[in-house]
Amino acid sequence: MTALRTRMIHQMQVHRLAPKTQEAYLRSIAGLARFYHQPPDRLTPDQIRAYLRHLLVERQLAWSSCNIVIAAMAFFYTKTLGWDALRLKLPARKKSRKLPEVLSPEEVQRLFTAVTNPKHRVLLMTTYAGGLRVSEVVRLRSTDIHSDRMTIRVQQAKGHKDRYTVLSERLLTELRGYWKLYRPQAWLFFGRDRNRPLPVQTAQKIYYLAKLKAGLRHGAGIHTLRHCFATHLLEAGVDPRTIQVLMGHRAISTTMGYLRITRQHLASVRSPFDLLAIFQDKTPDRR
């Protein structure tokens, strides 16, 4: 490990960047260095921008991938090396706004029914019932289930914040049955090593296999269940502010985005085609 790489890692740790963000930033800067066969601190701003153009125009990477590279460059050169941001002249990162795919309540039930492994089924149920991120559900501890208050404690979630979400009575029954079967100790959902949490990749595979068995064609990854949680609560009449707190959204606008995909909201809008007067062709029959 070079001194420059170590310096960048220390700086990212000071700024409390998530481990996955740190890995992505290191890969991005390493890619820049490999492209020029030079240490990144010896490159000029023109070379840095030329590399970004190479990614956009020649390699035609998706905006999401380029956004990560831009963020990594900005962090490395301004935070690690102390450059002035104006010296870089990096373009503003473009935000991609995609509507999440959600399953109907009936499809969610089909998903659970398709899973025969009790541990896998309860994992998916917990993700949906609490509106949890996959990184949150795999790091739940048995002590995070507060049956007396009917809440689930989510520790050090996104943004390094703790929060509480709702504990469903039905889920509590499922969890008690799960506990009798598996007797989890340190982690509620453990991996092959009972002293380690279930890997995120394994949780994703569990979801994909369940979706395949249920014959569902939409709903990308296990994060779909978190989207379903928010959407179904909105459809049930729960106010957005409450959902924001349960999901740990920083801004209410993030929660309000689910209004765009609720069935009630869309069903209340009539297509202009339905507003047109449909006239029958009154052309006389020439026969």
For CA atoms 113, 119, 124, 126, the dihedral sign is positive
To which residue do tokens 């002249």 refer?
89
Strands 161-166, 145-146: pairing is unpaired
Residue whose C-alpha is closest to residue 174's, from 111, 136, 120? 120
The residue length of the chain stands at: 287
From the list 221, 230, 225, 232, the residue with the least C-alpha distance to 249 is 230
Residues assigned a catalytic role = 133, 158, 223, 226, 249, 258
Give the C-alpha distances (Å, rounded to integers) separating 154 from 11, 142, 149. 27, 11, 14
- Report CA Rg, the chain: 25
**DSSP characters over 37-59:** TS-GGG--HHHHHHHHHIIIIIS
Q: Which residue, 237, 240, 206, is CA-closest to 224?
A: 206
CA dist., res. 61 & res. 54, Å (int): 9
CA 33, CA 42: separation in Å to the nearest integer?
9
How distant, in Å, are the alpha carbons of 98, 107, 235, 259, 284 from that of 262?
A: 15, 15, 6, 5, 47
- Contact indicator for 80, 8 with CB cutoff of 8 Å: yes
